[in-house]
Structure 1
Amino acid sequence: MKTPRRTLAVLAATTVATLSLAAPAAAEPRARCSTTPSAPTSLPPLSAAKLSGAIDNLPDDEVTGALVQVRGSAGCWQGTSGVADLRTGRPVPQDGRFRIGSMTKVFTAVVALQLVAEGQLDLDQSVQHYLPGFLPADYPVIKVRHVLNYTSGINGVGVPHKDPAWFFVHRYDHWAPGSQLDLTRPLAFEPGTKQRYGNADYWLAGLLIEKVTGNTWEREVTNRIIRPLRLTGTTAPGADPKIHGPHARGYEAVETAEGTRWVDITEANPSLQWSAASIVSTAADLDRFLVALFEGRLVPAPQLELMFTVPDVPLYDGDDDPTNDQPAAHSFGLSRIPLGPLTLWGKSGDRPGYNNGMGATRDLSRRLVYSVNTIHMGGEMPAAAQRIIGATFS
């Protein structure tokens, strides 16, 4: 159900008399950040007016706020709009932290591929070899590569974690690593034959990382990526429900007989998402991560190439009719994103209250990281996010 923007204004007026939800102007980029390219480029010109317009007039009936960062030799811009706190009217901070959701999978893929390069994992060895007795005996062989490119057919528990009714009751539940998988069901398809995007493969990847290293997934991500890159706003939070440091709060708009009730959903135990979707980060940190990754400073060239290679299989659609098949779209952690004449590589991610994305051209000449604060969990990509992507790359 959509929530009229005037409802936000009514909420503000009744909660704090001095609060106004008139959208703060988009923050001006720093002087050294110019939309003028610093090197020749064939990309469309970067327009500050279009980018600012993409996040004007927030809050609206889908999001309360947004932050955007564009970097690269083809131009630079950053800005925020809306409010970070409906109670105080505090503006969205440019350096705000947010729950990056499934963008976590890129971090997990990097750690796994580092272990492959080190000889601790073999892409063509079976999960059954590394985790003896964990999978049912009647499962076919699942290779490590099947897990990392979403072609294993493994199933998750299927809880409705983006349904408000479920979330409000279970937001502080703790999930032990591996308990997110449903091993009572047969695989959805023969491993390696189809691709089904989801969290299940990357929960299994987290278990593999822990098994071969003897360390927690959180420790490996921290020691291998977060600390070496000095990602000071990034954490693998374990079971910590809080977002520490500057951040915009997340809300869910709930319609009641008395009107709209605003539920602050910022805090939640992220252990359900774990190695698939639990990391908290910032736009600046994610941009630094993308640059290091694409430049080959995190993963050696043979393994890095796998992150830009989509398997030649169809997407799983639940039927065996090849006439309606769509091609796979995901590689090892990353997604291939066709956008008109451009091909971007990146990842989207969302958690209740947060919808985000990061993407870049392969040469890194234009890179986007954004986060918008949704007020209806589990929905489609908000219009504001679509406008941000369009203004950056079109």
Structure 2
Amino acid sequence: MPRTASLLAAVLLAGVVAGPSALPAAATPPDRAPAHLAAQHRNPALAAAIAGLPGADATAALVRVGGDEGVWRGSSGVHDLRTGRPADPGARFRAGSVTKVFTAAVALQLASEGRLDLDRSARSYLPELIPASYGGVTVRQLLNHTHGIPAPDFPGTTVEEVYAHRFRVHDAEDMVRSATSKKPEFAPGEKQHYLNIGYTIAGLLIERVTGDSYEHQVARRVLKPLGLRDTYFPGTNPRIIGPHNHGYQTMRLDDGTVGLRDVSVWGATDAWAAGDIISTTADLERFTSALFQGRVVHGPLLEELFTLPEVTDFRSGKPAAYSVGLSMKVLGGREVWGKTGGRWGYNAAIASTRDGSRTLVYSVNSTDAKGQDMNKVAENIMVAVYGRP
């Protein structure tokens, strides 16, 4: 099925795209918080984590903390560097790999309906696309990154080169062909290597077993039932529809100097079912709560989200950290499950304790969202909410 045409219209017809709801900022005494900071309840650690924006690491941050242990809402920074007006706390943003949680949820729903078998080979569903050399890869291995399929080839190696190709439209099937034309990184199920390609194939599997577009299936099964009206898939449109805070990336500029370039307009077809979703902190908080309460994935299959494969990481040799859809870290002495995401100019995350007692959603307009290390502002937010590793 060709993936070059925009599928935004299908999502619009599903009735899930609407203008972002206005989220009024709660008043904060000026002597208690930096400029542009708004929070419903005082939390000095969180306020400090997002203070001083824009700065070297980020230009804006939006945070929502929920659960039985307390609620906090905060925003800091600017909508854009040109005007310097305060960041919009209800803004849409690119959530990157948080998309994988939506993809995994739909795959698990289909598995519960008997339409997708997690232990069956992906090739048995897509025999014309997946070669025999990858015939042993199962659906579950796609979803928990133990498949051994390498990444496809993309143009450019530096951020400047990638930026030059930002409007290029990538076809999902072509990406799979590029990846599977190479030798496996390891035998299926032996290691774990976090890559997008498994979820690109998962998106195609969803389309094959439903006879419907991936986007419409997520809209029908997750977005519409949960009322996530500000969440949508951009298709081939490189712009964020509706109010959004601008994203910036440090790179070499046209005059040869290094500085910040506005990268808010950037195509995401290279990520598709692995990382192209656009959302808000309010929508992602609603999704996170519903997911951890078992209202998105039901019954025994819910445990797939919280089961780590007993293998080691392909690169580091450390124990696997990714389940189906989520990842796990021990923070402040307890397990925290969630998913981070990064698109140029934007870092995002959803997280929760297993019992849902403390949830977190953030969007950070990072100045190096694809950097090797976690963005400092995002890291400080995580530590303020859950504690240190």
State the TM-score, normalizing by the size of structure 1. 0.85
Corresponding position: 1:288 with 2:291: no
The aligned amino acid for 2:313 is L
Distance in 2 (alpha carbons) for counterparts of 1:262 and 1:334: 32
How far does the alpha carbon of each residue in 1:37-60 deviate from its partner, in whole angstroms, 9 at most, with x for none? xxxxxxxxxx61111111111111
Where 1:365 maps in the other structure, the secondary structure is: coil
* Cα distance, 1:234 vs structure 2: 0.3
- Residue 88 of structure 1: how far off its partner (Å): 1.3
8 Å contact 1:172–1:268 — kept in the other structure?
yes
Tell me which of 239, 244, 247 is aligned to 2:244: 247
CA deviation vs aligned residue, 1:342-385 (integer Å, no higher than 9, x gap): 11110000100001111111111111111111122421212111
Counterpart residue number, 1:184: 181
1:152 aligns with 2:165: no
8 Å CA contact 1:353–1:376 kept in 2: the answer is yes
Partner of 1:116: 111
1:346 and 1:325 map into 2 onto residues whose CA distance is 21
Say if 1:134 and 1:251 are closer, same or farther in 2 by CA, change over 3 A: same
Q: Secondary structure at the match of 1:152?
A: coil
SS at match of 1:100: strand
Give 1:175 shift.
Answer: 1.1
The match for 1:25 is: 36
User: AA paired with 1:357?
Assistant: A
Could you say if the C-alpha distance between residues 104 and 161 of structure 1 is closer, same or farther in structure 2, counting changes exceeding 3 Å? Answer: farther
**What amino acid maps onto 2:48 in structure 1?**
G
* AA aligned opposite 1:94: P
Q: Which amino acid aligns with 1:332?
A: V
CA contact (8 A) 2:368 2:375 kept: no
Q: Which residue of 2 aligns with 1:20?
A: none
CA spacing shift, 1:162–1:72, aligned 2, 3 Å: farther
The 3-state SS of whatever aligns with 1:221 is helix
Change (3 A) 1:177 1:126: same
Partner of 1:236: 233
Shift of 1:94: 1.1
Q: Decide whether the 8 Å contact of 1:221 with 1:236 is kept in 2.
A: no
Answer yes or no: is the 8 Å Cα contact 1:139–1:186 preserved in 2: no
- Tell me what 2:276 maps to: 278
Mark the CA change 1:161 to 1:332 in structure 2 (over 3 Å): closer, same or farther.
farther
CA displacement 1:70-98 (0-9 Å, x = unmatched): 11110111111111111111211111111
Aligned to 2:295: 297
Q: Secondary structure at the match of 2:341?
A: strand
Classify 1:91/1:138 alpha carbon distance in 2 versus 1 (closer, same or farther; 3 Å): same
TM-superposed deviation, 1:123: 1.0
Structure 1 residue identity aligned to 2:188 = P
SS of 2:172's equivalent in the other structure is coil
Can you give the 5+ residue segments of structure 1 that lack an aligned partner in the other structure? Answer: 1-22, 35-46, 318-323
Which position in structure 1 is the counterpart of 2:374?
A: 381
- Aligned residues of 1:64 and 1:375 also touching (Cα < 8 A): yes
Once the two structures are aligned, what percentage of the paired residues are identical? 44
Closer, same or farther: CA 211–161 of 1 in aligned 2, 3 Å:
farther
After TM superposition, the structure 1 = structure 2 runs for residues 204-243 of structure 1, keeping only pairs within 5 Å, are: 204-243=201-240
Which range moved further: 138-147 or 74-83? 138-147
Question: Are 1:349 and 2:346 matched, yes or no?
Answer: no
Q: Which runs of 5+ in 2 are unaligned?
A: 1-33
Matches within 5 A, 1:35-184: 48-159=43-154, 163-181=158-176, 182-184=179-181
- Superposed displacement of residue 283, structure 1: 0.7
Q: Is the 8 A contact 2:63 2:75 kept in 1?
A: yes
Are residue 330 (structure 1) and residue 328 (structure 2) matched?
Answer: no
Asked if 1 retains the 8 angstrom alpha-carbon contact of 2:305 and 2:325, the reply is yes
Q: Distance in 1 between matches of 2:158 and 2:292?
A: 35
Measured in 2, the distance between the counterparts of 1:333 and 1:66 equals 24
The structure with the largest alpha-carbon Rg is: 1
Q: Look up the match of 1:361.
A: 353
- Determine if contact 1:126/1:142 at 8 Å carries over to the other structure: yes
8 Å CA contact 1:162, 1:352 repeated in 2: no
Shift of 1:236: 1.6
How far apart are residue 340 of structure 1 and its match? 3.1
CA distance in 1, matches of 2:359, 2:63: 11
1:178 Cα deviation after fit: 2.1
DSSP-derived class of the 1:178 partner? helix
Higher deviation after alignment, 346-355 or 58-67: 58-67
Alpha-carbon distance in structure 1 between the residues aligned to 2:350 and 2:132: 39
Q: Is the contact made by 1:222 and 1:236 (CA closer than 8 Å) also made in structure 2? A: no
1:157 is paired with a residue whose SS is coil
Per-residue deviation, 1:167: 2.4
Q: Which amino acid aligns with 2:304?
A: L
Q: Distance in 2 between matches of 1:164 and 1:121?
A: 38
Structure 1 residue 246, shift from structure 2 partner:
1.7
- Residue 158 of structure 1 deviates from its aligned partner by 3.9
Query: For the Cα contact (< 8 Å) 2:121–2:135, is it kept in 1?
Result: no
Q: Report the CA distance between 1:260 and its aligned residue.
A: 4.6
Count of residues in Structure 1 that have an aligned counterpart in Structure 2: 351
Letter in 2 for 1:325: G
